[in-house]
Amino acid sequence: MINFNIAQWRAWAPGLSSGDDWRQWCQAPRPLAASDTAADVSFLPAMQRRRLGRLARMAFHVGWPLAEGRAPMPLVFMSRHGETPLTLDILRDLAAGEPLSPTQFSLSVHNAVIGLWSILRGETSEMTALAAAGDGLEHGLIEAAALLNDGAEAVLLVISEEKPPPAYAEWITDIPFSYAVGLVVTPGDDWSLALSPAPAADAPPTSPWPHALNLLRALATEQPHCHHVWKRRAWNWQRNH
C-alpha cells in the first residue's frame, strides 16, 4: 500500500478548463463534441508555443500553473498513446517516399514532453515519461511515491491523451475526447493506493471514462474511494481523511 496526499489538481478538455467547469462535469459526466480546440498556453512566448503539439499543450496547460510558485520538483508524465497525429503524419510521409522532418520526429517521441518541459522551465529535477496501458496513472503514482521516498517534497504527475485521428479508430477506443489531468502529489496519508489480484471472474471496466477522469470525479465530488480494474490488476484508491 502507498500513502500520499494530493495537494492540488488541474484538468483540461475542450470546453472544460476551470475548476467549476470540471466540478459540473464530474457531477454529470457527458461526452464532449469533437473539437480542434487547443489548450491555452499563452503564458509562453509565441516562439515557444509553436514548438508544442496539442498533446504537449494540454500537458503544459495543466502542469505549468501547478508548478508555479513551487520549488523545483520532479515530473512524471504519462500517456498511453502519445502524439498519434504526428506519428500518422510521419507514417504518411514514409509511405509517400517523402523526406522526414527532424523537428516533427523529435516532437513525436514519447519523452518529447518532458524534454520540452525541462527546456522551457529550466527544470533539472528528475523526470520520467511512461506508457503503461490502461493503468498508466497507477504506475505513475508508484513512480511518484518512489521519488517522495527518495526525499522529493512534491512530485508533479501529468497524464495527457489526445483524441486520435480517424485512421486509429479501430484500435484506439479508450479516448472519448482529448484530456489532460495534473496532480501535485506530496507526502502524507490522506490517500492510499493498494493493489490486489483481480478475480478471474471480474469483468472488464464498464466505465465510459478513462480512469484518470474517474479519479478526477472522486477528487471533485469528494468520493471516499475509486476502484479500477485493468486485466488481472485491481487498484483501490482510498480517501482516508
Assess if residue 109 is contained within a domain. yes
Q: Is the pLDDT of residue 205 over 60?
A: no
Cell numbers found for residue 82: 502519445
This model's pTM is above 0.85: yes
Q: How far is CA 121 from the centre of its chain?
A: 19
pLDDT in tens, 166-188: 998 899 888 999 999 999 999 99
Q: How far is CA 142 from the centre of its chain?
A: 14
Assess if residue 179 is contained within a domain. yes
pLDDT at 239: 94
Q: What is the mean pLDDT of residues 210-229?
A: 91
- Per cent of the chain over pLDDT 70 is 97
- Distance, in Å, from the CA atom of 88 to the CA atom of 167, rounded to the nearest integer, reads 8
Domain count, the chain: 1
Name the most confidently modeled range: 86-90, 142-146, 169-173, 227-231: 142-146
Q: Which residues pair with 8 in a beta bridge?
A: 184
The mean of the pLDDT values for the chain is 91
Assess if residue 198 is contained within a domain. no
Cell numbers found for residue 125: 529535477
- Contact criterion met (CB below 8 Å) for 22 and 220: yes
Q: What is the mean pLDDT of residues 149-153?
A: 96
Average the pLDDT over each of 23-32, 87-96, 106-115, 202-211 and give the range with the smallest value: 202-211
* Main-chain dihedrals φ then ψ at residue 106, nearest 5 degrees: -65, -30
- Distance, in Å, from the CA atom of 79 to the CA atom of 205, rounded to the nearest integer, reads 19
Assess if residue 120 is contained within a domain. yes
Average the pLDDT over each of 94-103, 183-192, 197-206 and give the range with the smallest value: 197-206
**Residue numbers of the domain that contains 35:** 2-189
Sequence letter at residue 137: L
Assess if residue 225 is contained within a domain. no
pLDDT at 204: 55
pLDDT at 127: 96
Sequence letter at residue 125: S
Return all residues near 236 (Cβ < 8 A) that are at least 6 apart. Answer: 193, 194, 195, 196, 225, 226, 227, 228
| Residue of 141, 139, 232, 230 lying closest to 192 (CA atoms) | 141
Q: In this structure, what CATH number is given to the domain that contains residue 119?
A: 3.40.47.10
Q: Is the pLDDT of residue 30 over 80?
A: yes
Assess if residue 215 is contained within a domain. no
Per DSSP, helices labelled H in the chain are: 19-27, 46-49, 54-67, 84-95, 102-108, 112-121, 136-149, 211-220
By DSSP bridging, strand 75-78 and strand 233-239 are unpaired
pLDDT at 213: 94
Q: Is the pLDDT of residue 202 over 70?
A: no
Assess if residue 161 is contained within a domain. yes
Q: Is the pLDDT of residue 199 over 80?
A: no
pLDDT in tens, 110-149: 889 999 999 999 999 999 999 988 889 999 999 999 999 9
User: Looking up cell 470525479, which residue turns up?
Assistant: 217
Assess if residue 208 is contained within a domain. no
Give the confidence band of 203 by pLDDT, cuts at 50, 70, 90. Answer: low
* Main-chain dihedrals φ then ψ at residue 76, nearest 5 degrees: -115, 115
Cell numbers found for residue 161: 491523451
- Contact criterion met (CB below 8 Å) for 177 and 32: yes
Q: Is the pLDDT of residue 207 over 80?
A: no
pLDDT at 86: 84
| Residue of 220, 195, 196 lying closest to 209 (CA atoms) | 220
